[in-house]
Structure 1
Amino acid sequence: MTSDPQITTLDNGLRIATDPMPGLRTASVGVWVGAGARVEPAEINGVAHFLEHMAFKGTKRRSARHIAEEIEAVGGLLNAYTSRENTAYYAKVMADDLPLALDIIADILQNSTFDPQELERERGVILQEIGECHDTPDDVIYDRFQEVAYPGQAMGRPVLGTVDTVRDMPRDAIRDFMAKRYAGENMVLCAAGGLDHEQFAQLAAEKFQNLGPAQETDNPRAVYRGGEYREARDSEQVHLLMGFEGPSFEGQDYYTAGVLSALFGGGMSSRLFQSIREERGLVYSIYSFSSTFADSGMFGLYAGTSEKDVAELIPVVTDEICALADTLTEVEISRAIAQSKASLLMSRESTNSRSDQLGNQMLAHGHPVSEADQLKALDAVDHDALTAMARRVFASPLSLAAIGPLSQLESYERISDRLRLN
């Protein structure tokens, strides 16, 4: 199942990309919009996510209930997500029901009514979502981490918005955001699974006739800064995030950072897991990550530990960070590359993953990135590239976020000094 994606561009600028998987009886279809939290004005932070919710709350032809009933009547699944850079609306259905899924998605993205009563109900739902996130430290800490990495910028604001911005969000702000951002040239329609490209593209051309031109496409550049956030809570665990500036998703550095993360804290054989959990028992959960954006990125690690162990944890973590560039071995490099390649290939067996990858690649690069090119890029990662990446990443300013009982957590300055002095 390694067919090449096919692309058709409509006159209104909408790009249609498909990844046929011959023999499959299911298909995934969705629209990816280049409009996430990073393009929101501060006073309407959360509008992209609010719009995502409202798209399912009724159109000129369907009520919210009818939308749910139609897709579930054929055993399908309909969902959406909002990230800092994109918003996606997608469905998974039996291949024969692909026209229905396409019709529903086209309807909610062109004909939503934003009924005032539905809007007020959904406002309450989102406020509950924000409250639930606040009550879950290992969720909210990522928002705080993003804020200190990109202070005073849309990239640093929470995807959900805040209680104040959501409570005060006017209906017109949601409608205007859609009018300005949801246009053909800023959207990609993707499908993967049991489908024929030409038939799908022809149907899509009929369904997406009402897309207007984009009124606004600016995307303020993200500038990584670093800093700290601390919130003392009476809880069992200290939730800790430490991060640095990483690469964007352009070029070979994206793959190098991914392999470095797999090696450093990507599994049970990784350095962080073995050194900090297995050998010392200082944490239950610890892992590293590489988050990439169009023009910036972060490389970091998360750890959950007890109040009494955090004082021992920090020196061990900083020692591991500082030693990484000079102690890489060919065995662990090979293992990390194998992990990365296996993860890629396993994801290729899912129609949802294929359509999601295709949508994000089209928005990021303007074209699909083939499986062969991705495997080639992973094979090109070597000792020298990983060493250079580790030195570059860990030389940048520290971003630190911590929530929990923090009496034993060293100061930001002391932790930064440890990173410089090792």
Structure 2
Amino acid sequence: MISRSSLGRNARFALRRQSAALPASRRGLAAAASTPFHYETGSAAGVKTAGRDLSGPTTSLAIVSKAGSRYQLLPGLAEGLEKFAFKNTEKRSSLRITREVELLGGELFAYHSRENLIIGAKFLRDDLPYFVELLGEVAGKTKFTTHEFNEEVAQSIRFAQKHTLGSASELAVNSAHGLAFHRGLGDPISPTSSTPLAKYLSEKTIAAYGQAAYAKPNIAVVANNASQADLSKWVGEFFTELPTAAPAKLPKLESAPTKYFGGEERISHPSGNAMVIAFPGSSSFGAKGSWQPEIAVLSALLGGQSGIKWSPGFSLVSKAVADIAGASAVTTNAQYSDAGLFYTTITGTAKGVRKAGEALSKTLKSVAAGEFSKEDVSKAVASAKFKALESGMGIQNGLEATGMALISGGKAVELSEVAQSIGNVTEEQLKKAAKTLIEGKASVASVGDLYVLPWAEEIGLNV
């Protein structure tokens, strides 16, 4: 059993701090900060940082890297780099990392999205020095060993492939992104089943990708419930050895500006039915794209699922599909740094999905014609505001959104500005947004029983 006294220098320092007098923010947890939900930003050792001090006893910390599937140089590199997180480093074995984190009561996480790779930890507030050191070590000193790739990383990627293949809805969402954006944001998050892993992936290609992914201009370190001063101090100490640029032999992790295309794809699937109807949406708030608050409100107005148990909800899609047996629908407003995808996912029996698709098309056309009540709009605005604020306050969403904005040259998410912009959306803006979508090109992906599932034109959509 590893005792606390055997931890690294900074882990011991963190533990000593726990027994010392608590700082003011810990003594008065009930005292609210002057701007409790706003990030303070800065830089240390050439790395962008953002922290917000919520005066709580636990902290969430993450490195956000612009290294998601959109930017990977070969299929599967983002997934492979994620799977290598918190394995053996030059200083610590994976077993030692596990034991130390457990002794400190912390948790580790790693995942990637279409744009970002996120590695992070959740822990007691006073242990910030140890976990900043650990993340810096993972980013700069991970050992990309052959046996770990063959025995763990490659097997995990293959499992992810099988999971995606078995889910009609995931296949449909991936297909819709590919139709909408082709390359970049259109690339699947995980390698497809037809991707020959051995051709593109090895511990060497993942290690090279890691050098580019964790270069200082390509990352941001973000913390919830940590002071910006403390965060900058420890980042300045433990992130000095990261490269200041991607290796010369590798291209920069860049992607061409996103362009929307649209189209239709139909995929036969033996164990499920799903249909995704998508349109160009809004970029994320604070990034370099164009934030459109009316899209967020339109997403809430269409909806599809109720937030109140036993209630069908106020949203127009939930009302439209309420009497359709064997079908459910949910609308998503996926936001990226320079684009967005506004889509509704319909799942269920083939006949139910077909009827729900027809109902969705009619509902969107009715919104474009202004056939909605003021009360519905008020509810949609309130719902969209709540979802935006909850997402911004959330641990992982807030960390990723803020890091992405800083890396892309934008500003940290200001929740008050988000809420205000949503609150100012008018009925006329909603009508105009719906009309633009329904008159433009849709991206329609159908997965399942293709004999029953409709073509886009059969339900009145342009592709």
**TM norm structure 2:** 0.83
CA distance in 2, matches of 1:353, 1:403: 29
Match of 2:279 among 244, 269, 273: 244
Identity %: 23
Instruction: Tell me the SS of whatever aligns to 2:292.
Output: helix
CA distance in 1, matches of 2:111, 2:292: 23
In the other structure, the counterpart of 2:263 is: 227
Q: CA RMSD in A?
A: 2.1
CA drift at 1:27: 0.5
Q: State how 1:13-412 maps to structure 2 within 5 Å.
A: 14-22=47-55, 24-41=56-73, 44-121=74-151, 122-151=153-182, 153-163=183-193, 164-168=195-199, 169-193=201-225, 195-215=226-246, 216-235=252-271, 237-249=272-284, 253-265=291-303, 267=306, 268-276=313-321, 278=322, 280-326=323-369, 327-347=371-391, 350-412=394-456
Counterpart contact for 1:283–1:305, Cα < 8 Å: yes
Question: What are the superposed Cα offsets for residues 22-43 of structure 1, whole Å, 9 maximum, x if unpaired?
Answer: 2x100101110112111223xx
CA drift at 1:213: 2.1
Counterpart contact for 2:264–2:443, Cα < 8 Å: yes
Question: What are the superposed Cα offsets for residues 174-216 of structure 1, whole Å, 9 maximum, x if unpaired?
Answer: 12212223211111101111x3322221111001011112231
* Residues 1:187 and 1:170: Cα distance change in structure 2 (over 3 Å): same
Counterpart contact for 2:212–2:245, Cα < 8 Å: yes
CA distance in 1, matches of 2:327, 2:130: 45
| Structure 1 counterpart of 2:324, one-letter code | G
* Residues 1:68 and 1:139: Cα distance change in structure 2 (over 3 Å): farther
CA drift at 1:125: 1.7
* Residues 1:271 and 1:401: Cα distance change in structure 2 (over 3 Å): same
| Structure 1 counterpart of 2:263, one-letter code | G
Q: Give the unaligned 5+ runs of structure 2.
A: 1-31, 247-251, 307-312
Question: What are the superposed Cα offsets for residues 125-175 of structure 1, whole Å, 9 maximum, x if unpaired?
Answer: 211121122112222222122222223x13222111234343331332212
Counterpart contact for 1:110–1:211, Cα < 8 Å: yes
Instruction: Tell me the SS of whatever aligns to 1:81.
Output: strand
| Structure 1 counterpart of 2:332, one-letter code | F
**Which shifted more, 388-397 or 255-264?**
388-397
Question: What are the superposed Cα offsets for residues 287-325 of structure 1, whole Å, 9 maximum, x if unpaired?
Answer: 111112222221111111312334433332221121112
CA distance in 1, matches of 2:398, 2:303: 25
Counterpart contact for 1:261–1:289, Cα < 8 Å: yes
In the other structure, the counterpart of 2:310 is: none
Q: Give the unaligned 5+ runs of structure 1.
A: none
**TM norm structure 1:** 0.90
CA drift at 1:60: 0.3
How many residue pairs match? The answer is 409
Counterpart contact for 2:66–2:117, Cα < 8 Å: yes
CA distance in 2, matches of 1:350, 1:299: 21
| Structure 1 counterpart of 2:441, one-letter code | P
Instruction: Tell me the SS of whatever aligns to 1:308.
Output: helix
Question: Is 1:5 paired with 2:39?
Answer: yes
Question: What are the superposed Cα offsets for residues 198-246 of structure 1, whole Å, 9 maximum, x if unpaired?
Answer: 22211110010111122314222222211222222333x4211111122
Counterpart contact for 1:19–1:354, Cα < 8 Å: no
